[in-house]
């Protein structure tokens, strides 16, 4: 079970008010245009004060379910959050955010490090509230060349995993580097690596031979006929028996999908 909370609650906790614009999506009151704009942010907010409502929701849900249903906690990754903060909200392209890495490398690292440390506190808080599995979504991973991602992002993500594990050794951690090179996380403390639907299970296993894999399911599949869905689910099971299936960062409405595929997917998990 996932308690839905937009990933942009972290920038809000840092002092960037955000509103949901109809037909547009999340929009900040201001964008981070220059390094000087970082002065508008609180780079070390009190996570337990500013994001306590998320922790309360997780705890309440576990209580109401009598601890019978596991709750999944999650956070956006530093780069994904930084991208939205610089662009000012939901956009189709992250050109401005990418330019920031080249134009302001020191300021970029300052913001990414601040986000990294907040994410650690946020994930630990979710674990303590009753979410034993924690997922870090780097939805914008594929926006960057592999060299840039390795230089600016990978070490912070590995730090998040190792630091959360250091504080909460029994926490289970997933990283989803959407459309990126998964192999960067083979030697990380993440237990699970998410697979984009644009990547084959065989290639995912080659890059991460020791990790549990999750995903590789195109959310658009939910709109297809059931027999087509069933064939694809069965095909996904063949390459890796320890691969869990999910819609990898988004689903579309389809009547009966969960009930129809339950018998196919349950033996894998």
Q: What is the DSSP letter of 33?
A: -
pTM for the model: 0.84
The CATH number of 9-180 is which of 3.90.1150.10, 3.40.50.10140, 3.30.420.40, 3.20.20.210?
A: 3.20.20.210
Q: Which pLDDT tens digit goes with each residue over 78-100?
A: 999 999 999 998 888 899 999 99
Q: Which pLDDT tens digit goes with each residue over 115-172?
A: 999 999 999 999 999 999 999 999 999 999 999 999 999 999 999 999 999 999 999 9
CA-wise closest residue to 16 among 36, 51, 42: 42
Domain boundaries, the chain: 9-180
């Amino acid at each position: 079970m996932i308690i839905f909370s937009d990933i942009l609650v972290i920038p809000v906790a840092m002092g960037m008010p955000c509103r949901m614009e109809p037909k547009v999506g999340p929009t900040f009151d201001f964008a981070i245009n220059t390094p000087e704009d970082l002065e508008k942010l609180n780079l070390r907010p009190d996570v337990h004060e500013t994001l306590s409502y998320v922790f309360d929701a997780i705890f309440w849900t576990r209580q109401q379910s009598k601890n019978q249903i596991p709750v999944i906690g999650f956070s956006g990754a530093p780069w994904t959050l930084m991208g939205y903060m610089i662009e000012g909200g939901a956009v189709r392209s992250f050109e401005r955010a990418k330019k920031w890495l080249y134009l302001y490398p020191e300021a970029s690292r300052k913001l990414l490090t601040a986000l990294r440390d907040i994410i650690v506190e946020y994930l630990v808080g979710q674990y303590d509230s009753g979410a034993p599995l924690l997922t870090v979504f780097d939805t914008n991973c594929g926006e960057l060349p592999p060299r840039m991602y390795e230089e600016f992002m990978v070490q912070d993500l590995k730090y998040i995993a190792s630091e959360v594990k250091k504080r909460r050794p029994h926490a289970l951690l997933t990283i989803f580097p959407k459309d990126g090179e998964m192999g960067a996380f083979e030697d990380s403390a993440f237990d699970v690596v998410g697979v984009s639907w644009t990547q084959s299970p065989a290639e995912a296993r080659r890059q991460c031979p020791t990790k549990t894999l999750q995903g590789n399911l195109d959310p658009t599949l939910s709109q297809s006929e059931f027999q087509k869905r069933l064939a694809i689910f069965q095909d996904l099971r063949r390459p890796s028996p320890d691969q869990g299936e999910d819609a990898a960062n988004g689903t579309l409405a389809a009547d009966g999908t969960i009930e129809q595929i339950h018998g196919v997917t349950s033996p894998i998990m």
